[in-house]
Structure 1
Amino acid sequence: MHEIDETLVELFPAIADDLPGIVAIQNHAAATSHARFATRPHRMQERRDWFAQFAKTGPYRMLVARRGNQVLGYACSQRYRDQDAFRETVEVSVGLGEDSRGHGLGTALYRALFGLLAEEPVHVALAGIALPNDASVALHRKFGFAEIGIFHEYAVKNGQYLSSLWMQRLHSTRLPGPDQS
């Protein structure tokens, strides 16, 4: 595995100008894999509404990795459910451009995101991973996520039933160090 060249890639809180790059990553993943359950491309307006939940402080964050003006990937923590009982629970995800996979960028984004969340009132982070996706499962395990269970064949995309593995990470879980990319 080749590491990312950190002199060329920078991590930032996402801003509205990043949204086209984020949407492009999401739409490419939806069109070419089962990693996203979207069955049609996202329109910018619907993603603007979704993007509005993220802030520079608090438990709902989005970070982007950029090389120049190009968005290479993102990681986010978002509301799990609308009920107040889930106010200390976030759902996390990471999305990488096709050419940005396998270089440690997902690790760098999650390390930065969980570092920010360490100071927030977050008790548990959840992740739902469409199966099979060995790379995503390995990334989440690296960050202390434990397997909770599988929702078997609960979604349909392209005429195929999809299952997803749900994982969780308690707030007290230790982050991997920089040498554990």
Structure 2
Amino acid sequence: MEVYVLRHAQSTYNQWAFKHWFKPWEWMSESPEFYDANLTEKGRKQARKAREKYQDVVARCDLIICSPFTRAIETMKIVFEGSECPVIITPLIAERTDTTCDIGLPLSQLRALHPDYEFMHFEDEYWWFCDKNNPKVLIKEPRDSVCRRALRFDDFLNTRKEKVIVIVTHGHFIRMFLRENLMLGNCSMKKVR
């Protein structure tokens, strides 16, 4: 089995964070525009370039496994435009809840927006790390929680029979899953198996 990880393209939060890198007092922005951040125009261009750059992998892909965050789904849709490859959406590969951009859409809304995808491993309507009584309030996810998700995902991945799988996910999750810091840029892909 060949397995590739693809980090999502530039999101509105990535763009904001880059501009505010040396202003740490602004890092915990509660601005609603960063809830479940979508792609910037630069991010959409990155995804179109990735579609060309990784066209061999895209053509051979048997299964796409994607994070439920909008930035990952938008990246996947652009990179795999025209592909009939099946898609599984799973919160096991979601980014670590660290900022408001890591607060997602409820499962029912995701299902309504993406009826052609298979949704797996969702245990709750509010699938990100949060207080289920107040899911829009930011609670940082502990590292051990992300590690447990990464281990569960690895177990799931090992049950798959497809020959070529692409995982569309996030930088921090990639580091935890692989137990190494690849430092993948936005919309970069790497073969990991």
TM-score range, shorter chain: 0.3 to 0.5
More helix by share: 2
The TM-score normalised by the length of structure 1 is 0.33
Query: Which structure exhibits the higher relative contact order, with contacts defined as CA atoms closer than 8 Å and separated by 6 or more residues?
Result: 2
More strand by share: 1
The TM-score normalised by the length of structure 2 is 0.32
